[in-house]
Amino acid sequence: MLGAIAGDIIGSRFEWHNHKSKEFDLFSDDSHFTDDTVLTVALADSLLSGTPFVDRLKEYYHRYPRAGYGGRFQQWAASDIRQAYGSCGNGSAMRVSPVGWYFNDLPTVLSEARHSAVVTHDHPEGIKGAQATAASIFLARSGENKADIRDFIVARFGYRFDFTLDDIRPYYRFDVTCQGSVPQALQAFFEANDFEDAIRNAISIGGDSDTIACITGGIAEAFYGEVPARITDQIWCRLDTSLADVVRRFRSALVKGSNPG
């Protein structure tokens, strides 16, 4: 999931200042983690501890109340309400990468991705976005090629990839729905030559840049292997101790094989 966090941090300064080009410095003094990272780590913590997703999401919101959450999530997380609020937003997809890594068979990945989404995003499109992202991560880390991953996503979820990034770059705008950002994030991965290129692709179309890059980065890490050291070094510097500790414990659990499977 470090790739997802990298995408979030690199994309953070472009969310409200879109950059319609692949040419930019990956990091600046303004690069920082956002709610995408916080909630990704919350799900990883939930998986490690066995704590229900809903509890960890609310807990992490209170620990990081100014991370940049969407209005509906913030209202839900700050309340005592535990029921979902029908969202089809891309928040379900941007936080799901730990699920794609943690479980070792596709049916379980799809089931747990659904569970991670429905605590807030119980709209069918919100569930679909989380499942498509988690499935892509699982298939990528299992050695499937891009064409097979794309074919599975089309057949299972009905997303269409009849466009290129060059096609949509001139007119693509901010869209926080899963259906309006997850296919674009996946296409950024499909067109990439390596991890960094995937992130640059995601940023270059504009829109909800940190979230699109977060989704793309999670899949690209699974496909290409480790995130390049020159990027991970910057990520560790920008995570606080608490978040970094969970990320390290999660990565260690995967290496040791202590995750289900």
The domain segmentation of the chain, as residue ranges, is 2-256
Which residue blocks in the chain are alpha helix, DSSP H?
A: 2-11, 35-49, 53-63, 71-77, 91-94, 97-102, 106-118, 124-141, 146-157, 165-168, 182-190, 195-204, 209-224, 229-238, 241-256
Q: In terms of Cα–Cα distance, which of 128, 194, 196, 203 is closest to 184? A: 203
pLDDT tens digits along 102-133: 999 999 999 999 999 999 999 999 999 999 99
pLDDT tens digits along 184-211: 999 999 999 999 999 999 999 999 999 9
- In CATH terms, the superfamily for domain 2-256 is ADP-ribosylation/Crystallin J1 (1.10.4080.10)
pLDDT tens digits along 208-229: 999 999 999 999 999 999 899 9
How confident is the prediction along the chain (261 residues), in pLDDT tens digits per residue?
Answer: 999 999 999 999 999 999 999 999 999 999 999 999 999 999 999 999 999 999 999 999 999 999 999 999 999 999 999 999 999 999 999 999 999 999 999 999 999 999 999 999 999 999 999 999 999 999 999 999 999 999 999 999 999 999 999 999 999 999 999 999 999 999 999 999 999 999 999 999 999 999 999 999 999 999 999 899 999 999 999 999 999 999 999 999 998 765 665
SS3 string of 34-92? CHHHHHHHHHHHHHHHCCCHHHHHHHHHHHCCCCCCCHHHHHHHCCCCCCCCCCCECHH
